[in-house]
Amino acid sequence: MSKIKEIKTTVFKWVGPVVPPAQNFCTNPTDLLRESEDKMKSFRFHKWLVCEVIDEDGIVGIGNAALAPEVTKKAIDCYLKNLIINEDCFDYEYLWEKMYRHTMAWGRKGIGMTGISAIDLGIWDLMGKIKKKPVFELIGKRTKEKIPVYASKLYSQPIKSLQDEASGYLKEGFKMFKMRFGWGPKDGNEGIKKNLNLVNAVREVIGYENDLMLEAYMGWNLDYSKKIIPELEKFKPKWLEEPVIPDDIKGYVELNSLGSIPIAGGEHEFTFYGFKHLLEMKAISYIQYDSNRVGGITAAIKINDLAKKYNVPVIPHAGQMHNYHLTMSHDNCPFSEYFPVSKVEIGNELFYYLFKGEPKPKNGFINLDDNVPGLGISINDKYKSSFEVVE
């Protein structure tokens, strides 16, 4: 038993250099609006929330969240925090249910669940530190020697630089790659041609002996997806990710039932209940929750087990330690996403500047250290001056 004494939330805002937005960088849900300005604006996030769960002995568990950090911080500070203080951190199941049920009217999906996730990750990190064991040891141990990871970037850009980027990952030893599209329904047949050119360009570099995944980031619709999928088949993608918005479950079902390209999704879905529904509907062939949104480790382990019953593999969104431990611990999680370290652009990269402890990939694999307790990350002081801190 160990009593939780404090929950401390801090928003880290990146004020260091950023790569300026590029045209047709990545499709996204606002593409269908009439706006013509920087369409990726709402999906670029240069802030991250750290949620520290501190026990009576002063041991600090570190959780985190990337979705709307200031609002998630408010949800924790105003509603969730007091539900947890003075409770035993080892009662993780009860604490999750307590947070879930106390915020039932507004917290089940989105910000509420993101707040619950940040606390839950902190609780698991704390339990690991108290037990002096890595989190994966607490939830299923080592199901693989090391974790295969795929290089996940290759945003839409001029063909030459796209191919150079792909070739760089290939040289680093990656065997799986994920790329993005630049055009959607409003761009007509010309846009379809441009999208196909992007995929062709990457295939030219990586060949067909390597895996290629395609990501539409909610930027298409059912009609457009049905039109482009037959054209994409020849490139033999491993999956097509988030072709429609997460609420269009019927659209997911229809696309997945075509059977030609498996549909992946779930990074914008929440809890065991959300995934139970998707699995029952046969909406997706790959699950991609992110444990810093889906409901933390406590929710994710349940989803791993459930997905196994449906023979649907789980490949969590983002690499990042809170997800790697889940991948290591479950045989239904065959590999993981990996965002290559780069200058701050979309926001995913911030994780590397904010935290230290992330494993570096070697020949397309990462590994976790058996001797590092908890999730294995701590705040990185190296880039401290590039962050503005809001407590």
Q: Which residue has the tokens 């033999």?
A: 236
Structure tokens at 378: 């701590």
User: How far is Cα 27 from Cα 177, in angstroms, rounded to an integer?
Assistant: 18
**385 class by beta-carbon count within 10 Å (0-12 exposed, 13-18 middle, 19+ buried):** exposed
User: How far is Cα 49 from Cα 33, in angstroms, rounded to an integer?
Assistant: 29
User: Residue 375 carries which side chain, given as an amino acid letter?
Assistant: L
User: How far is Cα 53 from Cα 62, in angstroms, rounded to an integer?
Assistant: 6
* 209 phi, psi to nearest 5 deg: -85, -10
**Sequence-ordered list of residues with C-beta below 8 angstroms from that of 268, at least 6 positions apart, any chain:** 218, 242, 246, 293
**257 class by beta-carbon count within 10 Å (0-12 exposed, 13-18 middle, 19+ buried):** exposed
**61 class by beta-carbon count within 10 Å (0-12 exposed, 13-18 middle, 19+ buried):** buried
User: How far is Cα 33 from Cα 3, in angstroms, rounded to an integer?
Assistant: 49
Residue 325 falls in the annotated catalytic set = no
Which residues make beta-bridge pairs with 11? 49, 390
Structure tokens at 15: 């004020």
Structure tokens at 151: 């290089």
Asked if residues 303 and 275 have their Cβ atoms less than 8 Å apart, the reply is: yes
User: How far is Cα 30 from Cα 39, in angstroms, rounded to an integer?
Assistant: 6
* 236 phi, psi to nearest 5 deg: 45, 55
Structure tokens at 2: 């160990």
Could you say which of 317, 322, 325, 330 is catalytic? 317
User: Residue 384 carries which side chain, given as an amino acid letter?
Assistant: K
Q: Which residues are catalytic?
A: 317
